[in-house]
Amino acid sequence: MANTILVGAQWGDEGKGKIIDVLTEQADVVVRTQGGNNAGHTVFIGPKKYVLHLIPSGILRKKKTCVIGNGVVVDPIGLVSEIEGLRKIGVKVNGNLFVSETAHVVFPYHRELDAQREVLKGKNKIGTTKRGIGPAYGDKAARVGLRMIDLINAERFEQKLAAKVKENNEVLKAFGAKPLSFKEVHKTYRAAGDYLKPFVANTVTLLHQAVRRGDDILFEGAQGTFLDIDHGTYPYVTSSNTTSGGACTGSGVAPNRMDRVVGVLKAYTTRVGEGPLPTENAEVADMLHAMGREFGATTGRARRCGWFDSVATRHATMVNGIDDLAVTNIDGLDTVETIKVCIGYRDGKKKYDYMPNDVEVLARCEPVYAEFPGWRTPTDKARSWKQLPPKCREYLKAIAELTEAKLFIASVGPAREQTIFV
């Protein structure tokens, strides 16, 4: 399988968790390289549902090494409860999970600042997950963050944390928010530090040993292309590089060690949180929500929904270098009579066949649609390309062609077996 970077090609929640779980069967190592517990990756094994936030989805398969890379921001309390949660349901988390010693730590003041800034923004809020992601990456860039290596060193941690709490309490007071108790934060974080110490490692050298051995490494992207801090719909984005380059910087594995990029996308479009979504459509949203689908895996919020946007996915192919496509949630369109696909944008007289960088322009853009006849047949029992209805195959071929990448996987349900290799 070689070294594969898997990215979300839309606005997140494309079904990356499911596809990672399927591809992990052939992999030796699975690595998260960016984001934090803002992510929610759903995997079904039989009737059992698992939602992973920080731990790579590969953990659910036996004998796989899982790595939380240097580019991730780690909420240690969240990570401990995720490990405990997995252990309680019989998943082995011992000797198969490594956390980078240089990954930055998310603190309660990051979460509080995240929430306070959203309140201050009022109607211009981003709609963050309130997990403290933006402020934690902010501290990293400002060179005032604490890392896992600090968390597991009792003496150093106490000193650094005292200064951080003092400073951030002043900021919180300015927001009119309650200051934090150093004692409390220190106690809970030190306990988490002791718990996590056996997992903390130099993951850069660990991954290089894997590369040298010729192991197959899978890089599990979080969020999606249009939530990327550089390439997304700024400022309605997350605070990391969610595109394929983030896999290199967030792991320490160089670009020329990577073999291919897989883009995961839904057969339609969803977004959770604020910001422009050109193909947003109330009927599509009502239809999917009525099926009990498209509610966020992390916050439970109803996702905004719309038609497939090939302007966006083609842009995603460009910035990620996507070779292969995994199209998920095809079954979500099983009942639609006429399916629309956005093939261009129009802003007054100006036409776009790429994503404009200015979100105000993007918000004004009207989609130009092509129409495809729906297949109006359940697809969830299909197990091969041939078993898919002809109109469904035509639709998939068309969206792959418009996205300018090769169709690799067609997913017709959340389960492992509902996966068709094309």
Residues near ligand GDP, by CB under 6 A? 8, 12-18, 40-42, 44, 297, 328-329, 331, 411-414
Residue 394: half-sphere exposure toward Cβ, Cα within 13 Å: 9
Cα separation of 347 and 367, whole Å?
Answer: 9
Q: List the single partner that 134 binds among Mg ion, ligand IMO, ligand GDP, none, CB under 5 to 8 Å by kind.
A: ligand IMO
Across 47-186, the runs of DSSP E, i.e. the strands, are 48-52, 65-68, 73-74, 97-100, 104-105
Q: Is 13 in the site for Mg ion (CB under 5 A)?
A: yes
Q: Is 8 in the site for ligand IMO (CB under 6 A)?
A: yes
Give the list of residues 6+ apart from residue 189 with CB closer than 8 angstroms, or none: 76, 77, 105, 107, 151, 157, 161
Both tokens of 385, joined, read: 């390309």
**Comparison of 13 and 294: residue with beta carbon closer to Mg ion:** 13
For residues 301 and 388, the answer to whether their CB atoms sit within 8 Å is no
Whether the CA torsion 216, 266, 381, 61 is positive or negative: it is positive
Q: Is 56 in the site for ligand IMO (CB under 6 A)?
A: no
Residue type, 143: R
Cα separation of 18 and 80, whole Å?
Answer: 23
Instruction: Give the nearest distance from C-beta 183 to ligand GDP in angstroms.
Output: 36
Stretch that binds ligand IMO, among 129-137, 155-163, 333-341, 351-359 (CB under 6 A): 129-137
Q: Is 139 in the site for Mg ion (CB under 5 A)?
A: no
* Number of residues located near Mg ion, criterion CB under 5 A: 3
**Comparison of 12 and 246: residue with beta carbon closer to ligand IMO:** 12
Cα separation of 216 and 27, whole Å?
Answer: 5
Residue 344 backbone dihedrals phi, psi, to 5 degrees: -175, 165
Instruction: Give the nearest distance from C-beta 389 to ligand GDP in angstroms.
Output: 15
Residue type, 204: V
- Among the listed residues 5, 18, 32, 40, the single contact to ligand IMO using CB under 6 A: 40
Q: Is 7 in the site for Mg ion (CB under 5 A)?
A: no
Cis peptide before 135 (omega within 30 of 0): no
Cα separation of 354 and 310, whole Å?
Answer: 9
Cα separation of 37 and 75, whole Å?
Answer: 7
Q: Is 128 in the site for ligand IMO (CB under 6 A)?
A: yes
Q: Is 232 in the site for ligand IMO (CB under 6 A)?
A: no
* Number of Cβ within a 10 Å radius of residue 102: 18
For residues 76 and 189, the answer to whether their CB atoms sit within 8 Å is yes
- Among the listed residues 238, 313, 328, 379, the single contact to ligand IMO using CB under 6 A: 238
Query: Shortest CA distance to 237 belongs to which of 317, 134, 355?
Result: 134
Q: Is 40 in the site for Mg ion (CB under 5 A)?
A: yes
Instruction: Give the nearest distance from C-beta 21 to ligand IMO in angstroms.
Output: 14
Cα separation of 38 and 273, whole Å?
Answer: 12
Q: List the single partner that 407 binds among ligand IMO, Mg ion, ligand GDP, none, CB under 5 to 8 Å by kind.
A: none
Residue type, 345: Y
Q: List the single partner that 314 binds among ligand GDP, Mg ion, ligand IMO, none, CB under 5 to 8 Å by kind.
A: none
Whether the CA torsion 323, 329, 331, 333 is positive or negative: it is negative
Q: Is 18 in the site for ligand IMO (CB under 6 A)?
A: no
**Comparison of 21 and 150: residue with beta carbon closer to ligand GDP:** 21
Binding mask 261-300 for ligand IMO (x = CB under 6 A): -----------xx-----------------------x---
Q: Is 86 in the site for ligand IMO (CB under 6 A)?
A: no
Instruction: Give the nearest distance from C-beta 297 to ligand GDP in angstroms.
Output: 4
Q: Is 233 in the site for ligand IMO (CB under 6 A)?
A: no
Cα separation of 84 and 102, whole Å?
Answer: 23
Q: Is 133 in the site for ligand IMO (CB under 6 A)?
A: yes
Stretch that binds ligand IMO, among 7-15, 67-75, 247-255, 368-376 (CB under 6 A): 7-15
Question: To 10 degrees, the CA torsion angle through 151, 128, 265, 378?
Answer: 120
- Among the listed residues 39, 210, 261, 407, the single contact to ligand IMO using CB under 6 A: 39
Q: Which residues are catalytic?
A: 13, 41
Instruction: Give the nearest distance from C-beta 393 to ligand IMO in angstroms.
Output: 27
Helix axes 154-174, 108-121, angle to 10 degrees: 20
Residues 278-307 that bind Mg ion (CB under 5 A): 297
**Comparison of 30 and 382: residue with beta carbon closer to ligand IMO:** 30
Write out the residues near ligand IMO by the rule CB under 6 A.
Answer: 8, 12-13, 38-41, 126-129, 131, 133-134, 222-224, 227, 238-239, 272-273, 297
